Structure 1
Amino acid sequence: MSLAPDPTDPPGTSRSTSATIQPNILRCLVTVADERGIDLRPLLKQVGLDETVMRSAALRVSYRQGSAVIRRALELTRDERLGLRVGAAQHLTAWGLLGFALMADETLRHAIETGVKYQNLSGAMVVWSAATSEAEGEAFVLRADLPDPAMDPAVASFLSEEAFASVVTLSRLAVDPAFVPRAVEFSFPPPRRLDLYDALFRCPLRFGAPTNRMLIDATWARTRMPGRDPVAYASTLEMLDAQMASRRDQQDLLEVLEISVAQNLPVIPSFAEQARRHSTSERTLRRRLADCGTTYEALVEGVRRERVEQLLLRPELTLRDIARRAGFSDERALRRAVRRWHGSSPVHLREQMRRDRS
């Protein structure tokens, strides 16, 4: 899902919707950073995720928020293999009902397929798919695609590493400590050191591959889960299906509101006006947003931030132009907002974004 584009944006411009994933990766990232003596909580607060909010089971964060935290964490830790460490620190209990369903599933392959089916409830920041490949000798192939091909390369590498490191770690915890994939392929270039990869995956590795893939031998794929329980599995799926339906309703609400704000910029519709458009009371709409783990104010802030970041990429626009189009009273208000979001000035952010895209 994406926000409605600014009518003056170049063709192909897209925006990710806010509140799209559970923050499981960010919670684990904070723990790993703590162990290295680095406190990421001020950074989380800077992007609107204070400690109280992060403890909410209903919280959803946007890819923008997640990517911003990961990018800054990589800078602070100076650890190019941070994704591997975060993936290796994962545990199924952080996935709630989905983690329980995976443990109660019949085989490793079916557990992975269940995880793929309900991936929107797991906090995944990649797009998972899985299938048996006859061309690979009946190997079970798990693929992790990035949600945005133009993503910051450092963040993309982190997400790819975290994705497969977590699969290997959880498979060893849930099935057998001896589990090893047949091979793991990454689309990014070879790292300077392979020792951490070798220690974690214990299998052939390929870098610069067309896609991010993990190949699992058929024997491992057919391995029965030690905690399999058909009754518990079936009852848990019923609850997961209900969560998915609720999640779709929440996403629909958020998307409609985001599009409404984006289409009306620089004018921001009042909350009362949004409630009237949805034929509901302000109290009910506020409660529905609370169920999504957000507020109308936070949603508006996210839309305006997305708009500013897109407009900063257009060199022909002055800061006055950007402030006007994003609904700020003047350049000073724009500067304050960008400082709050990024800890830097709009000019510095514009330069940094251009460097990242070059």
Structure 2
Amino acid sequence: MPDAPAPATSAGTSAGTSAGTSRSTSATIAPNILRYLARVAGEYGVDLQPLLTRVGLDPMVMRSATLRVSYRQGSDVIRRAVEQTGDEHLGLRVGATQHLTAWGLLGFAMMAADTLQEAIETGVRYQNLSGAMTVWSAGWEDVGYVLRADLPDPALDPTAAVFLIEEAYSSVVTLTRLSIGDAFAPQAVDFAFPASRDRRPFEELFRCPPRFDAAGNRMVIPARWARAAMPGRDPITYASAIDVLEKQMASRGDQQELLEVLEISIAQSLPVVPSFLEQSRRHACSERTLRRRLAECDTTYEAIVDGVRRERVEQLLRRPELTLRDIARQVGFADVSALRRAVRRWHGATPLAVRTGLLERDAPRSRPHA
């Protein structure tokens, strides 16, 4: 996760990305949200598996405990799920179905924390390991103990952006009630997106009047709740869990750095794609070792190249003056036909249709309701 701007008293976030790379193509997110999303969508009679498979997440892959997905994969699935279910509050529903056990060892550590505040700050500190798709920060402010959620990318699709913020705060309230009691309610919840037509789902879930079109997303937790003791608190178990989480963070940091360095080198070399042999020499290792390191990240060099090319194609499609031939040449495709096949595989549509959609999305307009 990238470093989140937060007050000095807030819990720190984990390491950010290197300058110049796009987080949307890095496979760094545990797919907890997508698993719950598929479950909730199924209750609407919507089978998300064909869509998950199309972005590279087949059933066997989704069962992997070490699986990581990219923001590109995640936001694509979320946007289509909202469209197919027709539920404008799908994020609230997905967040309300979760449990701390879905967060693995991190959830266990949070249950063993001394107070709710310590549990929250543990979650913030190790958010990279939880499958979070927002950037969390927390700390004491004038109004009370504040938990903030920011989007990883300001250019994120608006539908996916609203879903992620709804899911984020819905899961926090749900998990807190499961941990310390159903009586928990935040003092206030602010959302940066516009109000929906029906506010009742927000009022029923949060049990306080929600505020929309706010300067940022935040939840204010009353001091008595922030200082409340966790029922499962155990300092020895907590310390043991933290020790393992620290080791996992160090390992994940090394893997993320490798992916980002590869992405940057590919992006800077386009339209020429560096050979795998060239990349192994840059990393002072054998091709076999580099392939093993990528396998530990649940990805391949070919998948990284594909992600970088997709990102570049979408950037170039936003420039109407460029022809498809221009774009194919700049991204390193052999011809326009190869570009068309790639775009069809990524989006299920033609390059011109994707261009129209991107330009319409980028055009100044009021944001959709949550």
User: TM-score band, normalised by the shorter chain?
Assistant: over 0.9
SS, match of residue 52 in structure 1: helix
Which residue does the alignment assign to 2:360? Answer: 355
2:179 maps to which residue?
174
Q: Quick one: which of 73, 77, 90 aligns to 1:69?
A: 77
2:129 corresponds to 1:108: no
| Shift in Å, 1:20 | 2.3
Give 5+ residue unaligned stretches, structure 2. 1-16, 364-370
CA distance in 2, matches of 1:178, 1:288: 47
- Counterpart code for 2:257: D
Q: Which residue of 2 aligns with 1:321?
A: 326
**Number of aligned positions between the proteins:** 347
Cα deviation for residue 17 of structure 1 reads 4.2
Structural mapping, 1:192-207, within 5 Å: 192-207=197-212
Matched, 1:302 2:307: yes
Does the 8 Å contact 2:186/2:220 carry over to 1? yes
Q: Report deviation, 1:49.
A: 1.6
Maintained 8 Å contact 2:340/2:350 = yes
Q: Which residue of 1 aligns with 2:41?
A: 33
Deviation string 1:47-67 (CA, Å, 9 cap, x unpaired) is: 122222222222211111111
**Matches for 1:202-213 after TM superposition, within 5 Å:** 202-213=207-218
User: Could you tell me how far 1:4 is from its partner in structure 2?
Assistant: 4.4
Kindly indicate whether residue 347 of structure 2 is the aligned counterpart of residue 342 of structure 1.
yes
Distance in structure 1 (CA, Å) of the matches to 2:213 and 2:161: 13
Q: Of residues 288, 293, 301 in structure 2, which corresponds to 1:288?
A: 293
**2: distance between equivalents of 1:166 and 1:304?**
34
Q: Deviations over 1:149-172 (max 9, x none)?
A: 222221111111000000000001
Other-structure match for 2:24: 16
Contact conserved, 1:38 with 1:77, CA < 8 A, in 2?
yes
Task: Say yes or no: does 1:257 pair with 2:262.
Answer: yes
TM-score with structure 2 length normalisation? 0.91
Tell me the CA shift for residue 2 of structure 1. Answer: 5.9
- Which whole-Å deviations, capped at 9, do the CAs of 1:200-259 have from their partners, x for residues lacking one? 111121111111010110001111011111001000000000011011100111011111
Q: Shift in Å at residue 16 of structure 1?
A: 3.5
Report the secondary structure of 2:192's partner residue: coil
Of 240-249 and 274-283, deviating more is: 274-283
Matches within 5 A, 1:155-234: 155-234=160-239
Query: Any stretches of 5+ residues in structure 1 without a counterpart?
Result: 6-13
Which segment is superposed worse, 315-324 or 57-66? 57-66
Partners in 2 of 1:83 and 1:23 — Cα distance? 15
1:183 to partner: Cα distance: 1.1
Shift of 1:44: 1.1
Shift of 1:333: 0.7
Q: Is 1:53 the counterpart of 2:70 in the alignment?
A: no
SS in 2 for 1:130: strand
- CA distance in 1 between partners of 2:311 and 2:36 (Å): 26
Q: Does the Cα contact within 8 Å between 1:46 and 1:342 map onto a contact in 2?
A: no
Does the aligned pair in 1 maintain the 2:112–2:230 contact within 8 Å?
Answer: yes
- Tell me the amino acid that sits aligned with residue 283 of structure 2: H
- Between the aligned partners of 1:58 and 1:283, the Cα distance in structure 2 is 21
Could you tell me how far apart the structure 2 residues matched to 1:201 and 1:351 are? 38
Residue type at the aligned position of 1:226: P
Q: Which residue of 2 aligns with 1:120?
A: 128
How far the C-alpha of 1:317 sits from its partner, in A, is 0.8
The secondary structure found in structure 1 opposite 2:26 is coil
Distance in 2 between residues matched to 1:55 and 1:294, nearest whole Å: 15
Which residues in structure 2 correspond to 1:87-98 (within 5 Å)? Answer: 87-98=95-106
Q: Which amino acid aligns with 2:350?
A: S
**Separation in 2, partners of 1:3, 1:217:** 38
**Candidates 143, 148, 153, aligned match of 1:148:** 153
> 1:273, CA displacement in angstroms?
2.1
Contact in 2 for aligned 1:3/1:258 (Cα 8 Å): no
Structure 2 distance, partners of 1:272, 1:49, is 28
What amino acid is aligned across from residue 279 of structure 2 in structure 1? Q
Distance 2:79 2:331 in 1: 25
